[in-house]
Amino acid sequence: MQSALLRIYLKQNVTYHGKSVHEAILELLRDSGISGATLLRGIEGYGADGKIHTLKILNLSNDLPVVVEAVDEEEKIRALVPKLREIIGEELMTMQAVEIL
């Protein structure tokens, strides 16, 4: 059985049906029985638009980068990709094989 790590790169202030996108993703992952998921907030980053989002005082952004990570069987994660794509739109989503120790 192949395990996988899913990563979804987002901006903090994006919403989906009245809640933050990362909250909607975490709820979907939990409700779908995914083994574990974590939300990580970045201190600085940029995406396809090239705009830098930062925590620096002089350039404080309320749109910091966030990453949702989830680990489970690859098949379980792949089954959620269509719904995840609906939630995140064109945001970056990656998956890689992992060994659970």
| Residue 94 belongs to domain with CATH number | 3.30.70.120
Q: Give the domain range for residue 43.
A: 3-98
**Residue 58: predicted pLDDT:** 57
Number of domains present in the structure of the chain: 1
**Residue 25: predicted pLDDT:** 98
Alpha-carbon span 1 to 28, nearest angstrom: 22
The owner of tokens 């609906």 is 86
- Split at pLDDT 50, 70, 90, the class of 3 is very high
Tell me the per-residue pLDDT of 15-49, one tens digit each, with 9 for 90 and over: 999 999 999 999 999 999 999 999 998 888 877 77
pLDDT higher than 90, residue 64: no
C-alpha distance from residue 39 to each of 2, 10, 60, 84 (Å): 23, 10, 20, 15
Q: Which residues of 19-31 are buried (b: 16+ CB within 10 A; e: fewer)?
A: ebbbebbbebbee
